[in-house]
Amino acid sequence: MSSRSVLILLSGGYDSLFMLNMSKADGHATACLFIDYGQQAAQQEQQAAERACADHGVALYSASITLAESSITPMNGPSGAGPRVVPGRNLALIGLAVNHAASEGYKEVWIGATADDVHDYADCRSGFIMGADAAARAYGVQVCAPLIRRRRSDLVEMVKRSGWVMSAAFSCYSPDENGKPCGDCNSCAQPA
């Protein structure tokens, strides 16, 4: 068994479920943290996170914070298409995860930033992750983005080769009134 202890920021989406599979396959002591920050898909995401953690036999911690509701909007206007940029979201999520990791004895916090995220999200870029890591080390915790150089299409191919089950994933920023993916946001548009 690996001596690495990992706390994964688990949104219930494809990228974070990929990290859960990867961490377990590598034999790391793994737990996950789901954070409800007022996102429209919080219920669907949490259910996906719960199913995945149950399937993998790992602990799922939950937390909630309140981010400015007006900031959770499409970058390209109210039409629904495009990225949802929530200023400071990953800074807040990483801070909460570092607090939890330090309190519970986890040495690493993993966040699912990918190469596809860097264009739209400043808080998914290497420089941001390195800054968060430098700050977290004051508390004995590393911040890692193990997928940051991989495109989502690469992850899909790796899942196909590995046989990992990703059916629990829910990736949509704006589910419809029935809780189904909207089909318009950039999360829905990514390959899965």
* Domain hosting residue 24, numbered range: 5-189
Please state the domain count of the chain. 1
Question: What confidence tens digit (pLDDT) does each residue in 35-91 have?
Answer: 999 888 889 999 999 999 999 999 999 999 988 655 555 555 555 555 667 778 899
What integer pLDDT is reported at residue 38 of this predicted model? 85
**26: pLDDT strictly greater than 80:** yes
Question: What confidence tens digit (pLDDT) does each residue in 129-163 have?
Answer: 999 999 999 999 999 999 999 998 888 888 888 87
Q: 3-state secondary structure string, the chain?
A: CCCCEEEEECCCCHHHHHHHHHHHHCCCEEEEEEEECCCCCHHHHHHHHHHHHHHHCCEEEEEECCCCHHHCEECCCCCCCECEECCCHHHHHHHHHHHHHHHHCCCEEECCCCCCCCCCCHHHCHHHHHHHHHHHHHHCCEEECCCCCCCHHHHHHHHHHHCCCCCCCCCCCCCCCCCCCCCCEHHHHCCC
State the pTM of this model: 0.86
**1: pLDDT strictly greater than 60:** no
The larger pLDDT score, comparing residue 20 to residue 2, is at: 20
**CATH number reported for the structural domain that contains residue 69 in this entry:** 3.40.50.620
